[in-house]
């Protein structure tokens, strides 16, 4: 079953693109659409023979992800909006100085806060971040 059947490069690359360049999903799609047993490794091997097409699929996936992130930055849910803005600034805002610093440069005392104090501190930090982010 499916041993003597073949899939053209065009059909293969179309399925690879439709499945976001994911090898296992593409393997399943080939089995479903063409009744050809095509392992995940076989998909990977064939995909790697088309590096320009594979790179273009990856770029398309990045475009889709950026589009989704951009939509989330307009969310009415403040937590979602803040987190998506944070991600955007960490990646796209680097040239403007939005970098996450690693490590702590000075000693920070171990302070135990009540839940109310913790929420107030988090709100204070969020407000500061939002103020810095908007200019």
Contacts of 33 (CB under 8 A, 6+ apart): 15
Residue in the structure block whose two tokens are 């171990």: 110
pLDDT tens per residue across span 62-98:
999 999 999 999 999 999 999 999 999 888 888 888 8
Per-residue pLDDT tens for 3-13?
A: 568 999 999 99
Where are the domains positioned within the chain? 1-60, 73-99+110-135
Residue 107 clears pLDDT 90, i.e. is over it: no
């Amino acid at each position: 079953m499916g041993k003597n059947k073949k899939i053209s490069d065009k059909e293969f690359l179309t399925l690879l693109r439709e499945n976001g360049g994911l090898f296992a999903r593409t393997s399943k799609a080939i089995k479903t659409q063409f009744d050809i047993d095509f392992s995940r490794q076989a998909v990977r091997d064939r995909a790697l023979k088309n590096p320009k097409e594979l790179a273009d699929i990856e770029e398309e996936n990045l475009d889709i992800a950026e589009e989704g992130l951009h939509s989330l930055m307009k969310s009415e849910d403040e937590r979602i909006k803040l987190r998506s803005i944070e991600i955007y600034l960490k990646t796209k805002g680097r040239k403007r100085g939005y970098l996450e610093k690693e490590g702590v440069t000075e000693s920070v005392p171990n302070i135990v806060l009540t839940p109310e104090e913790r929420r107030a501190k988090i709100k204070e930090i969020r407000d500061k971040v939002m103020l810095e982010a908007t200019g």
